[in-house]
Structure 1
Amino acid sequence: MLRSLTLGFVAFLALAAPTVDVRAEQASPIDCRTIAKEAYIYAFAPMENYNTWRKQAVDSSAPEYVGGFNVFRHYSEPFTPDNHDVVTPNNDTPYSWAWLDLRAEPVVVSVPAVPKDRYYVLQLFDVFTFNFAYIGVRSTGFEAGDYMIAGPRWTGETPKRVTKVFRSETDIVGILGRTALNGPEDVPNVKAIQADIKVTPLSAFLGTKAPPAAASIDFPPYEPSKAATHDFIGYLNFLLQFAQPADPSETALLARFATIGIVPGKAFDPTTIDPKLLADIDAGVRDAQAELHEREAQTLTANGLFGTRAFLKNDYMKRAVGAAKGLYGNSLEEAWYGGFIGNGSKPSVMRFAAGELPPAKFFWSATLYTLPDRFLYANELDRYSVGDRTKGLVFDKDGSLTITISHDAPSADKKANWLPAPAGLYSLVVRAYGPSEEMMTSKWKLPPLQTAAP
């Protein structure tokens, strides 16, 4: 287990690797501010990812801890308002979490065969939060399989017993699994499927001698306040060591970043930097934060914010906005997202006309979150979402479906379709798993929130 909590942040800034002296890099004040802005936007998603990864794979005292690297932790119950592992959690599919360390050798992720009416997916993302691979009913089918996950430096041959190989451009990989749960009585079935989702080092899978263990790493504590200053460079340098060799598309970018001290695996010591240049770096960080907040406010859907590097085309602002709105969103072909901001003190309805329910291959749901924290809202019904699997929904005589969203309970004839909301602002997120082509191309539109009739 690669876990060490002995170093504090000061020690992190002074790792054994040689420090970078920005004064020697000849970055002008104007360039320094501009580059710092660009670099902070680049670093935002990886840092947010690290905040989760450290708690789940490194900090054994954290409630989110999954057991270390190269092991699954399965949750068989749906999320509740007490779960704060991630923001905007999906309440339809209990999660399975794993973090892979691929430095010593690849691992094999094994999955069982599942019934044709059972949805599950394993989403694989790298340090940068790119969704580089999927295992699940949409992408690999309902059959059992053994999938090898290899890091950027692996050069071996594909074993015959392996169903398929997925390559990651980083040595650390996250897996977020989702298995559809059809009500409380379905929990034993979900547990049975999850029990057969496993991760095994390649050598153990093949029954061969294990390679030498990778070097131990001191994972620095993540402090959001420091990550929002020039100290983000220390975090980025730490994370970039797991992404070597760098993607060729970033060669020029990383050379530019090096002029302000961004070098993979190198320590960052602010005391070696001219105070004026340090102030320019901080100014660039503030510029980046302002633009990120503006773009986040302008972005009304998560569709298109998540995917492979090729899909996102190295659009680091888009990647940052995705992380800001909620980490680990699915690629569009796996799940479609839509939604609104509302106020629970003003009752609203969302009405789907007859034949116009979300055209999803697997299922759809509408989940409500508190703002600004984006967690599930505790309410008297213990109802956090409604969708095509919600029992007891009442359709109108014309075949339409009207969902009421409000803080106060509606009249008795509308309570079956009531989604309780806080008295203030909330976020409503509609998800469709296995979206149709018309959803992915925006030909199908989510009906707007409307003021409820008195």
Structure 2
Amino acid sequence: MSGSVLSRRSITLALVIGLGAGIVACKKSGDADTAGAVDTGKIAEAGLVYGFPLVMNYGVLYESFINTASPQYRGPINTIINTARVFTPKDTAVVTPNSDTPYSFAQLDLRAEPMVICVPAIPKERYYSVQLIDMNTMNYGYIGSRTTGNDAGCFMVAGPDWKGETPKGIKAVYNSNTQFSMALFRTQLFNPADIDNVKAIQAGYKLQSLSGFAGTPAPAAAPAINWPAIDKDKAKTGFFDYLAFLLQFIPAQANEAGIRADLAKIGVEAGKPFDMSKLSMAQKAGMLAGMKAGNDKVAKAATSMGKTQNGWNVAKIENTTAATGDDWLRRAAVAQAGIYANDYQEALYPMARTDGAGVKLDGSTSSYTITFPGNALPPVNAFWSVTMYDGKTQLLIDNPINRYLINSPMLPDLKKNPDGGFTIYVSNKSPGADKESNWLPAPNGEIYMVMRLYWPKLDQLEGWQPPAVVKAN
């Protein structure tokens, strides 16, 4: 992973690596303020859990839309940036990237006025979606095949301070709880030869200010922001500095009054510099220990979400403010497992690190098979896929055939079993020429696979389970 890229993993490792020595150093000071240390530690632990997805999202925002020197830079704020290709191992800013659908991205600044997203008419057989995500990493709306259909239309996205009227020509209004928001566009690619059709659709995605759309005078521009640089080293020591900076753009909801008040007790307040030097040595030790405990809690929760079915972890994620409430650990665990995850109504994500017997998947020692019976394919309205990742980094892997997934559009090219189903061969080396059409290349080490069911048939999900990953002879 390149040094300038801040991902979920680099934040996590920075906290784990950097905190241990600090705890020891502070404890050696002999400070007797043990009560202060305990109180500060509890607040820091809760604050780490609460702020984890916010700081992680800021890392993506900074690298993708602010830091023009970053290899992950995509373009300026309030502009749609189209990626006319699927993700590859070179894309490292976001963990567990989706390689089914070429992405388009927009970071929306909603402080001065709302923004308007317009989409073209899209053929009904092609799935697309526009996922709207606030700075808390909460989903607050969808435009697309499932929710608004494939007809052309314009949709308004408003920030928390907007109180104006909706002009004619707007099909729906989406309200963000934060002053900046991410819009992730996914456009289905059927096969490599289909890329020009995807490019044409992407060219039809439009973004403009509300005043530009309505032809009215533009309001005064929002103040310029001095965006603090962030990387894995800065995250190591400055987690609460970043959280304090971000809170000024995230108005507190009613259920956040308690955690915001507790954070203020240790000097973490919206838009104000965090000064750790004001804490006693015991309080500093408590804070570092609390952050470590919070980080460990998030990591554990991310691996225990959902139910295990044939070795796959299946979680019905609904990453919305209404569904999450004040369960900050649930919110952080979702970000840890895969930031910007869809709600399960849009996409379901079975994840596998073990085979059907519960043994850890390892491409350096074993090969595996996944067999889908002909009468038990994933139940979807759109399409499904199985994507391979490196188990340690959760990034796509280099392989000799540049294949990162097997999905339903590939069905006509897969070798079928007698019952009409098919078998996926998971291995680090080719399973042989006669099986290579069904080969999903694996890393030479720890394996992590994610199944994606786009627009699942909810009435059929209860009776379906992903097939077990089976160790090959």
Give the structure-1-normalised TM-score. Answer: 0.90
Residue 46 of structure 2 aligns to a residue whose secondary structure is: helix
2:455 pairs with 1:434: yes
Contact 2:128–2:145 (8 Å) recurs in 1 = yes
Task: Please state if 1:271 is matched with 2:290.
Answer: no
Match of 2:11 in 1: none
Q: Give 1:141 shift.
A: 0.7
Out of 141-150 and 302-311, give the one that drifted further.
302-311
Secondary structure of the 1:28 match is helix
Matched, 1:259 2:265: yes
1:92-129 CA-to-partner distances (Å, cap 9, x unmatched) read: 10010110011111110111111111111111100000
Q: Using the alignment, how far apart are the partners of 2:314 and 2:162 within structure 1?
A: 33
| Offset at residue 365 of structure 1 (A) | 0.5
Q: Equivalent residue for 1:171?
A: 179
- Counterpart residue identity of residue 214, structure 2: L
Whether contact under 8 Å (1:305, 1:318) holds in the other structure is no
Deviates more, 1:31-40 or 1:303-312: 303-312
Aligned to 2:3: none
Q: For the Cα contact (< 8 Å) 1:75–1:96, is it kept in 2?
A: yes
Q: Provide the C-alpha distance between the structure 2 equivalents of 1:58 and 1:403, rounded to a whole number of angstroms.
A: 41
How much does 1:256 deviate? 2.0
> What is the distance in 2 between the residues matched to 1:306 and 1:87?
19
Which residue matches 1:352?
A: 372
Asked if 2 retains the 8 angstrom alpha-carbon contact of 1:306 and 1:322, the reply is no
Q: CA deviation at 1:439?
A: 5.7
Name 2:396's counterpart in structure 1: 376
Which residue does 2:328 correspond to in 1? 316
Is the CA contact 2:380–2:457 (under 8 Å) kept in the aligned structure 1?
Answer: yes
1:142 aligns with 2:150: yes
1:444 and 2:464 matched: yes
Change (3 A) 1:305 1:221: farther
More off after superposition, 119-128 vs 345-354: 345-354
Aligned to 1:399: 420
Instruction: Tell which deviates more after alignment, 298-307 or 36-45.
Output: 298-307
Deviation at 1:304, TM superposition (A): 3.6
| AA in 2 matched with 1:247 | Q
* Aligned residue in 1 for 2:170: 162
Tell me the distance in 2 between the aligned counterparts of 1:72 and 1:39.
33
Q: Distance in 2 between matches of 1:304 and 1:327?
A: 15
Q: Deviations over 1:315-367 (max 9, x none)?
A: 21111112112211111100011131221231111111121010111000101
CA RMSD of aligned residues (A): 1.6
Q: Distance in 2 between matches of 1:427 and 1:234?
A: 33
1:206 aligns with 214
Which residue in 1 is equivalent to 2:249? 242
Give the distance between the partners of 2:203 and 2:314, measured in 1 at CA: 31
Identity of matched residues, %: 39
Counterpart code for 1:327 = I
Q: Which amino acid aligns with 2:245?
A: F
Please tell me whether the aligned partners of residues 233 and 261 of structure 1 are also in contact (alpha carbons under 8 angstroms).
no
Residue 286 of structure 1 corresponds to: 292
Counterpart amino acid of residue 358 in structure 1: P
- In 2, distance between residues paired with 1:385 and 1:410? 16
* Alpha-carbon separation, structure 2, partners of 1:167 and 1:301: 32
Structure-2 residue corresponding to 1:193: 201
Q: Which runs of 5+ in 2 are unaligned?
A: 1-34, 306-311, 354-360
**Match runs of 1:73-112 below 5 Å:** 73-112=81-120
> 1:72-92: per-residue Cα shift (whole Å, max 9, x none)?
100111112222231111111
Mean Cα displacement is larger for which, 390-399 or 38-47? Answer: 390-399
Q: Distance in 1 between matches of 2:294 and 2:261?
A: 20
Aligned counterparts of 1:218 and 1:451: Cα–Cα separation in 2: 53
1:42 Cα shift? 0.5
Whether the 8 Å contact between 1:305 and 1:312 is mirrored in structure 2 is: no
Q: Return the offset for 1:269.
A: 1.4
- Which range is displaced more, 342-351 or 410-419? 410-419
Give yes or no for contact 1:43–1:236 (8 Å, CA) kept in 2.
yes
Partner residue, 2:227 = 219
Residue identity in the other structure for 2:395: F
Aligned to 1:335: 347
1:176-225 CA-to-partner distances (Å, cap 9, x unmatched) read 11100111211111011111111101111111111111111101011334
**Which deviates the most, 343-352 or 130-139?**
343-352
- For each residue in 1:363-419, what CA deviation from the matched residue of structure 2 results, as whole angstroms up to 9, or x when unmatched? 001010112111212111111111211151011112221111011211333222111
- Shift, 1:238, TM fit: 0.7
Residue matched to 2:239: 232
Distance 1:162 1:94 in 2: 26
Where structure 1 has 5 or more consecutive residues not aligned to the other structure, the ranges are: 1-26
Amino acid at match of 2:463: K
Change beyond 3 A, Cα 1:302–1:83: farther
Alignment match, 1:326: 338
The CA deviation at 1:305 is 4.0
Residue 57 (structure 2) pairs with residue 59 (structure 1): no
Secondary structure, counterpart of 1:65 in structure 2: coil
- Aligned partner of residue 255 in structure 1, secondary structure: helix
57-66 vs 290-299, greater mean Cα deviation: 290-299
For 1:104 and 1:214, the matched residues in 2 are separated by 5
**Higher mean C-alpha displacement, 88-97 vs 56-65:** 56-65
SS at match of 2:470: strand
Residue pairs, 1:110-129, within 5 angstroms: 110-129=118-137
- Correspondence for 1:414: 435
Q: In structure 1, what is the equivalent of residue 54 of structure 2? A: 46
How many residues align structurally? 424
Would you say the 8 A contact 1:336–1:439 is kept in 2?
no
**Cα distance in 1, alignment partners of residues 436 and 226 from structure 2:** 53
Greater CA deviation, 292-301 or 268-277? Answer: 292-301
Q: 1:311 to 1:443 in 2, by over 3 A?
A: farther
1:228 CA displacement: 4.0
Contact 1:302–1:322 at 8 Å: present in 2 too?
no
1: distance between equivalents of 2:284 and 2:403?
A: 49
Can you list the C-alpha shifts for 1:228-259, whole angstroms capped at 9, x where unaligned? Answer: 44x32211111111112x11121222112211
